[in-house]
Amino acid sequence: MNKPLEGKVVIVTGAGGGVGEGIARLAASRGAHVVVNDLGGSTTGEGSDAGPAQRVADEIKAEGGSAIANTQSVATWNSAHEIIQQALDTFGRIDAVVNNAGVLRDVMFHKMSEQDWDIVRAVNLDGPFYMARAAAPHFKAQESGCFVHLTSTSGLVGNMAQANYSAAKMGVVGLSKSIAIDMAKFNVRSNCIAPFAFTRMVGTIPANDERNRQRLEVAKRMTPEKIAPLAVGLMLDEAKDVTGQVFGSRMNEVMLFSLNRPIRTAQTSEGWTPESIVSHAIPAMRPSFYPLDRSSDVFTWDPF
């Protein structure tokens, strides 16, 4: 088998199952030394368990690959630096960081607690920042490196009862683009993937109405290992000029998402007043308004 990642070191967070496990396994099969990071907590962020990360690392090694387990949280500055340091101490370098770890606390916005907000932000947004920031000086010094951040259509499009998750995942898009801009001169690239896959977190969606039941049935057909080829492909040297992009992976589909750009403008030589905004500017732009779509309203075709 081709080993394009031979000798490279890859950290995958949240790799004790689901999408992260698929990425870790595929990277190892292509020759990478893999740090399998997973706190082993619940889907809502409670508790810890060393078992998931250790199982994946052991299975990778049993298949002839190279891997170690790491069970630290990505959600603090110090622990993120310790994850990076373990990779350096064990394998001597670091070449790619996949920010996949995540938690959900779905609740309608008017009922969302401070804790619901804080824990989802800490894992889903602070975590990618801490991990990327800890790796950045090493990438800069070696003048190479790859970040792959997992975002979500919950942020890119929208979903009900996910203000915390949606905000964090859109924050990841801005973080990735800023990293790509700031570190381009050091040959460091940063991209996002919005994955469509049935995982432990997606399985927490309650089947309490027909819409959610249909959503779950479609999701169950989208296996998490289908995300791995895109994530690992972005690590390859042949993709070294790909940066600042947002991709999607949905079964056998790979997609490129647009980034925010102006789509309509309105001008007046007299300058605007509040009254002329509502009488002229908004009516001119209204045909281009987006409806209150959710992810399932946009991705209406069956995965294939």
- Catalytic residues, by residue number, are 165
Q: How many CA atoms lie within 13 A of 18 on its CB side?
A: 23
* Longest pairwise C-alpha distance within the chain: 73
Q: How many of the other CB atoms lie within 10 Å of CB of 65?
A: 19
Q: Which long-range contacts (CB under 8 A, 24 or more apart) does 251-254 make?
A: 251/196, 251/221, 251/222, 251/223, 251/226, 251/303, 251/304, 252/226, 252/303, 252/304, 253/303, 253/304, 254/230
CA 21 to chain centre: 14
Using left for φ > 0, alpha for ψ between -120 and 50, and beta otherwise, residue 44 falls in alpha
